[in-house]
Amino acid sequence: MRTDRGQCAARVGSRVGSEHGVWGASVHTGRQTPLSGDERRTAWNITAPGAKKEGVMMVEMTTRERFARMFEHREADRVPIVDIPWPATIERWRREGMPEDMDFVDFFDLDHVSGIHCDISPRYEAKVVEETPEYTISTTPWGVTLKNWRHAASTPEFLEHTVVDRDSWAEAQARMTPSRDRVDWAQLERDYPTWRERGDWIVGGLWFGFDVTHSWTVGTERLLMALKTDPEWCWDMFNHYLDVGLAMLDMVWDAGYTFDAVCWPDDIGFKHNQFFSLDTYREVLKPVQKRAVDWAHAREIKVNLHSCGDVNPFVPEFIEIGIDA
């Protein structure tokens, strides 16, 4: 959904965002003509820091320009807007009129954020165990058996885990080694030029920490207990996930597929509290997150942590280690 960008008349013309792109309008004739990409940038550069903004409005920016200004705490044409809907949500939108051949990002005029994701899993066999009209039960490359509704949105039900202790972790760990076949190079070759030409914000995905380890690998109760009874095991898992992930992103970066930020999911809170104490966070997880931050900042890119739930007590810690958003 397009937000109102506002209008401000210039002495010789104005720049107006419309549903069909960015337009220039003469204050004398009122005639509108679409602006080229260069003209859009010229119009925007008038409002660069230190320039006078009187008489010139902000024009539509690319997602990359918009995100860059957000991270720099500078004014943009609007706040970046992104969403990651459940598949069932997209099904509903199509039933309600969204065209079958149209991406929801374009339909709702959201920002284009594209991700580079590498496989760091132990590569256990992934297969469907049971399938009904309502649900499927399947195994994952992480050795987890889970149940998913087919036409409803919910968190999967995790039924069984392969990694349950140090010994089974050692077996999984030995299978998690960096290699070129863990990157979809064909997809990058096909899509990366479009991402850059369109002005996408490109994110390198990481997969490590409490959230993905408790849910997708060892089980929630098991990991929560281990944080107190065997924190070294937890620390080893978190670090190995990150080691492999950074090695894979190094591989991608060195091949010329640079990106603008790294991002990883780590939900460490629930509705009114956190899964563990600040002391536990500082001892086991914070040093690992700091490694990811330092890796990104050494490449002069941003760091984005996705963390659901009440994480308020952790926010000062996030700021301290340099997480950007």
Q: Is residue 31 pLDDT above 60, yes or no? A: no
pTM here?
0.81
Our CA angle for 70, 73, 79, nearest 5°, is 35
Q: Mind listing the pLDDT tens digit for each residue in 238-280?
A: 999 999 999 999 999 999 999 999 999 999 999 999 999 999 9
* pLDDT interval class at 56 (50, 70, 90): low
Backbone torsions φ then ψ of 161, nearest 5 degrees? -125, 140
Q: Is residue 12 pLDDT above 50, yes or no? A: no
Q: Mind listing the pLDDT tens digit for each residue in 57-112?
A: 678 999 999 999 999 999 999 999 999 999 889 999 999 999 999 999 999 999 99
What is the per-residue pLDDT for 14? 27
| The dihedral formed by the CA atoms of 80, 81, 86 and 87, expressed in degrees to the nearest 10 | -100
What is the per-residue pLDDT for 16? 29
Q: Average pLDDT over the chain, rounded to whole?
A: 86
CB environment 35-51: b (16+ within 10 A), e (fewer): beeeebeebbebbeeee
User: What is the rounded CA–CA span in Å between residue 129 and residue 114?
Assistant: 32
Task: Give the residue extent of every domain in the chain.
Answer: 1-60, 113-321
Among 216, 87, 84, which residue's Cα sits nearest to residue 150?
A: 87
Going through the chain in order, the beta strands assigned E by DSSP cover 14-18, 21-25, 32-34, 113-116, 128-131, 135-139, 144-149, 157-161, 201-205, 261-265, 302-306
